[in-house]
Amino acid sequence: MISWKMRAGLLAALLLMPCSSLLRQSGAAEPLRVLDLALSNEGEGRFRLHLKTSGPISLSRCRIRESGSASFLVLEFPNSESGLKPSYEFPQATVGTAKVTPIGGQGESGWRVEIPLKGMALLGWETAGEGMSLFLSAATATPPAAAAARIPYRLGVGDRLELSVYGHEDLHQELEILSDGTVILPMVGVVSVEGKTLSELREELEVKLKDFLVDPQVSLDVKEYRSQPVNVVGEVEKPGPYFLKGPTTLVDIIAQAGWMTREAGSEVIITRHEEAPGKGTQMRQIVVRKEDLVGSGQANNNPLIQAGDVVTVGPKQYFYIRGEVSQPGQYALENHPTLMKAISIAQGLTPFARKKGIELIRTVNGVPTTTVIDLKAIEEHKLEDIPLQMDDQILVPRRMF
């Protein structure tokens, strides 16, 4: 089985290129028959698309087709028969109608399934004895990866480059961009590279090398990205420093860190230092709700990460309720609960509860403070409901007869 960590790590690459062909040898004499197509919700914005077949898959093709701003998941099963319906609707996920059509042309037969992704992303796939599963996520990289890929990466201090010149093996070497933003090349000498794209630098080097070589053809790649660090901390599988390799969204960087753990809370915070006119550098925090990040696909819910950002995935926060409620205990502090909502979460008051005199115990600057609240006054709108904070304790007293 492919773990969700491995699937999340494939996110950026799969958005930018077609998925690999899947090939498995099969000794079955009968043609493969594709029987059914179903989509199930795996939780946390993730879905499993399962194709049931009559036996092991001998050959299938999987790719992402881009058309303008739209992306389509295309699955093809050559030399197969179909028991599928012409179309499938999946109301539980933000994908379009799946269309089933025959493969035609060039003497090839079989069937094709095409699904508009509508902001979903392909995380990975696996084959089983009788079928194939693909794993999708509503946590897309926005702006769309195809558009983001058109924004070129600009080189910086610490990046390592690999240089080669066609027909001149002696010029092949690795170069590190020095602290002054330069590299030193044979024959050419010192070249300023910081802030340039690979294509800009390649063209510049070819011009410079024409003084020494006939029609030089330069190949230049980034061997190691080291100039744009981002720190990911908190409830992720692999916290630590990461380096931007181009336009990277919040979902992208969390995926690189192995995705969120089960103990991740409801908010992700991006801490960023920005230059303010006349005020120098100021710290700014961008708060993104996890449910918006995983389930929305809107650009403002999945911001681009900048060099120097600190991404913090906080732990779950809790409040506690005791006394005369149906289900006292510890509850997650999610969706900004109030005192009234907390009592509802605990399945309401018992018949012996006293609404006047409910105690809210809250730690302020390390000191526990107790506030006595009249719940009946809140119900009658004579008193505003009270938003809860992390580690608040609610004590519902018993009526005295």
Instruction: Write down the pLDDT at residue 143.
Output: 45
CATH architecture of 4-138: Sandwich (2.60)
Instruction: Write down the pLDDT at residue 136.
Output: 81
Instruction: Write down the pLDDT at residue 9.
Output: 43
Domain ranges of the chain: 4-138, 160-224, 229-315, 318-396
| CATH of range 229-315; options 3.40.109.10, 3.30.470.20, 3.40.1710.10, 3.10.560.10 | 3.10.560.10
Rounded to whole angstroms, the Cα distance separating 112 from 79 reads: 11
Output the CATH code of domain 318-396.
3.10.560.10
CATH superfamily, region 160-224: wza like domain (3.30.1950.10)
- 338 vs 24 pLDDT, higher one: 338
pLDDT tens column, 47-105: 888 888 888 876 677 777 766 567 788 888 888 888 888 989 888 777 888 899 988 65
Whether the full predicted model's pTM is greater than 0.75, yes or no, is no
Rounded to whole angstroms, the Cα distance separating 311 from 300 reads: 16
Instruction: Write down the pLDDT at residue 19.
Output: 44
On whether the CB atoms of residues 232 and 254 are closer than 8 A, the answer is yes
Of 9-18, 113-122, 250-259, give the range with the top mean pLDDT: 250-259
Q: What is the mean pLDDT of residues 23-34?
A: 57
pLDDT tens column, 251-290: 889 989 998 898 888 889 999 988 767 777 888 888 888 8
Q: Over the chain, what is the mean pLDDT? A: 82
pLDDT tens column, 147-193: 454 578 899 999 999 999 988 888 999 999 999 999 998 889 999 99
Same CATH topology for 160-224 and 229-315: the answer is no
- pLDDT band, very low/low/confident/very high, at 318 (cuts 50, 70, 90): very high
